[in-house]
């Protein structure tokens, strides 16, 4: 765990995604409380689950490294082979940066799409390719990446993370450049943040972020009182629901409390 959190802190900006899956049956509230108490600096994607698409194991910790193209590259105890894991991650991050594939076109498109996060640039490179299977495959990757980014904005809003959603929408608008079809779809997403509802959600999220900041500073004991005060002002917002969930988590006892 600590090594995964450390890797993620160092390498997520270069494209690494680290998913921590709790497999001992904790519910969401227990997991959230445990993470804030034990690993307040954790920024890995973290969830509860009893099933993950990895080979069987006799116990934990157990991890898998999945390459940029979705291939399982390694699985095992991450404490047993830390160097191997680090080398594989570095190898795959080079692919993110430089692109990968059998042709120069594929490498250029993927470097733009995944390395530079430049949807418009990737789309222009694909458009310039000769028609055929290779072009169709890369076009599908560009389309999937765009659809995923757009959906992510809505998901973050639904999860009460409006500041993150706004940042994601701004990044998306920047990434789609001047491509009219995409600009026409992304611009309304950004406009939502200027609506009355959007303003209320953003205002509430700014208050909640102060509580989250205090949690990252290990001020766990102060958070419930701050959340109770916050909930008197958030009304029926998505952010309010998230604050309520966080309060419930922090009130969930851990065995060693």
Partner 1 sequence: MLARSFLLPLALTLPLAAQTVGSKVPDHTFPTFLNGDGRQTLAEFFGQPVVIDRWGTH
Long-range contacts of 30-33 (CB under 8 A, 24+ apart): 30/249, 30/252, 30/254, 31/249, 32/245, 32/246, 32/249, 32/250, 33/249, 33/250, 33/252, 33/254
**Distance, first Cα to last Cα, the chain:** 21
The reply to whether 9 sits near partner 1 by the rule CB under 8 A is: no
Q: Compare residues 53 and 131 and give the one whose CB is closer to partner 1.
A: 53
The reply to whether 153 sits near partner 1 by the rule CB under 8 A is: yes
> Any residues with CB less than 8 A from the CB of 174 and at least 6 apart, and which?
none
Which residues, 162 to 181, sit near partner 1 by CB under 8 A?
164-165, 168
238 and 158 Cβ atoms separated by less than 8 Å: yes
The reply to whether 255 sits near partner 1 by the rule CB under 8 A is: yes
Out of 119, 123, 126, 156, which residue is the one contacting partner 1 (CB under 8 A)?
Answer: 156
45 backbone dihedrals φ, ψ, rounded to 5° = -60, 125
Out of 127, 128, 136, 151, which residue is the one contacting partner 1 (CB under 8 A)?
Answer: 151
Least distance in Å: CB of 35 to partner 1?
7
Q: Compare residues 147 and 233 and give the one whose CB is closer to partner 1.
A: 147
Q: Provide the CB-side half-sphere exposure for 6 (13 A, CA).
A: 5
The reply to whether 75 sits near partner 1 by the rule CB under 8 A is: yes
Binding string, residues 83-122; x marks residues near partner 1 by CB under 8 A: --x--xx--xx--x-------------x--xx--------
Binding string, residues 31-60; x marks residues near partner 1 by CB under 8 A: xx-xx------xxxxxxxxxxxxxxxxxxx
The reply to whether 23 sits near partner 1 by the rule CB under 8 A is: yes
Closest CA to 159 of 12, 32, 18: 32
The reply to whether 73 sits near partner 1 by the rule CB under 8 A is: yes
Q: Provide the CB-side half-sphere exposure for 249 (13 A, CA).
A: 22
Which residues, 179 to 238, sit near partner 1 by CB under 8 A?
none
């Amino acid at each position: 765990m600590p090594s995964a959190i450390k890797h993620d802190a160092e390498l997520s900006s270069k494209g690494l995604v680290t998913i921590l899956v709790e497999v001992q049956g904790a519910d969401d509230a227990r997991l959230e409380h445990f993470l804030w108490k034990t690993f307040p600096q954790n920024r890995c994607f973290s969830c509860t689950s009893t099933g993950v698409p990895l080979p069987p194991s006799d116990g934990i910790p157990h991890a898998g490294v999945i390459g940029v193209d979705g291939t399982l590259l390694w699985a095992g105890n991450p404490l047993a082979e830390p160097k191997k894991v680090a080398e594989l991650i570095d190898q795959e991050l080079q692919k993110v940066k430089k692109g990968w594939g059998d042709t120069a076109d594929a490498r250029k498109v993927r470097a733009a799409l995944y390395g530079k996060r430049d949807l418009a640039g990737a789309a222009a490179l694909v458009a310039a390719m000769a028609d055929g299977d290779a072009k169709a495959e890369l076009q599908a990757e560009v389309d999937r990446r765009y659809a995923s980014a757009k959906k992510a904005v809505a998901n973050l809003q639904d999860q009460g993370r409006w500041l993150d959603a706004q940042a994601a929408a701004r990044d998306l608008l920047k990434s789609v450049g001047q491509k009219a079809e995409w600009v026409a779809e992304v611009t309304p997403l950004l406009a939502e943040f200027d609506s009355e509802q959007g303003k209320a959600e953003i205002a509430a999220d700014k208050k909640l972020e102060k509580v989250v900041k205090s949690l990252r500073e290990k001020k766990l004991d102060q958070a419930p009182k701050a959340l109770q005060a916050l909930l008197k002002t958030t009304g029926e917002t998505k952010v309010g629901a998230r604050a309520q969930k966080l309060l419930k988590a922090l009130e969930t006892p851990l065995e060693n409390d």
